[in-house]
Amino acid sequence: MFTRCIRYIPQVALVLAVTTTLMTVTGAGLDHRPSLAPVTMGARVAATKTSVSDVVTITVGWGINAKQQVLRTTTGGQSWTVVSPAHPNATLLDTSFTSSHHAVVVGAAHHRGQWIVWATTNAGHTWHTTFLPMPKDGQSSGATVQVSWYSTQRGWLMLPVNMLNKPAQDRLYRTTNGGMTWQLMSGNLPYRDNAGVVFSSSEVGWLPLHTDSIGPNHPILATTVNGGTTWQAVTLPHPPLLAPRSPNPKEDYSPHPVGFPVFATSQLGALLTTYGALNPNGTLKPKYPVVYFTTDGGSHWQWIVLPVESETPANSPTPSTLSWQSTPHGWVLNVRAFTQKIIAQWSVSK
């Protein structure tokens, strides 16, 4: 159970652990490969050539250079080796480096109306290519592609799609073999303005919903219990911030998710939100940060209201992220500001 004794911490030193965002796509693996530009594999390049890099161990890391080639370092970034061909006929949308040997790269083909996923499980010595078709009259959206891993083998990829004269469609794919093959779970997610998914178990996932709707009753979270095939809105309890029986929904505080739910275990999770409202004259009311938490895998959620945001950020830092910390006596939930300093925390008994 939650011990609802919150500690607000104005100044706390932060020790950051390097984390890797995991991303995946589901679809059928195909044997043919796209047209690739010739490249000298295994060539060493200067560290300054990398435009994107991700260190997964003290010495091993991955990167992408200006030619859209995947690079790998085993010297902590002092030197890099080219481990993939260039991809001149595709626009790279996202990368996911899950371990020192596993990597997934997602791109959109320039003229083929499809996505391309490249995956390696042997540090780039060989790559497997998968083509995922776009819907008819669809094109890759400018929205962010998001990949989420539950393990090094099981992950999900969300691909936003713009449709001609139709509402946008978000496609969700799943892999169970580290990106070698992909399966379409949902060809049209039932909610719009999706930010991405995160899974707390192999089948249970969460989808934070962003919307411009005003009022307290629009959903901000959806869940799936079958790996992403079907989704349903989650009803979250409302803290007492609402104007009672307000005839004007602009006076009611509306919730908005901040980031993704964060799970310490399949049962123990939390979601950071912000409640905002407009005065009748259109000006903003003070915002209330609210943390929702669950101890039973999301069947029930409770809330804790943090101090209202101040107009002076130095006096009241804005909550930005949540993180779980394991202790000998249970779990501690930390609320961090944009500076990464812990500004509030409370414990959960095991």
Using CA atoms in the order 130, 205, 288, 279, what is the torsion angle rounded to 10 degrees?
A: 70
Read off the pLDDT band of 23 (50, 70, 90).
very low
What percentage of residues in the chain have a pLDDT greater than 90?
A: 40
More confident residue, 157 or 48: 157
More confident residue, 193 or 187: 187
Q: What order do you get walking across the sheet with 70-73 strand by strand?
A: 44-45, 80-82, 70-73, 61-65, 50-55
Q: What is the pLDDT of residue 117?
A: 95
- Give residue-wise pLDDT tens across range 318-333: 899 999 999 888 899 9
Mean pLDDT across the chain, nearest whole number? 78
Mean pLDDT for the stretch of residues 176-187: 93
Q: What is the pLDDT of residue 180?
A: 93
Say if CB 94 and CB 87 are below 8 A apart: no
CA distance 152 to 172: 18
CA distance 168 to 147: 19
What three-state secondary structure class fits 208? strand
Q: What is the pLDDT of residue 13?
A: 28
Say if CB 131 and CB 30 are below 8 A apart: yes
Say if CB 322 and CB 262 are below 8 A apart: yes
Which segment of 47-56, 213-222, 318-327 scores lowest on mean pLDDT? 47-56
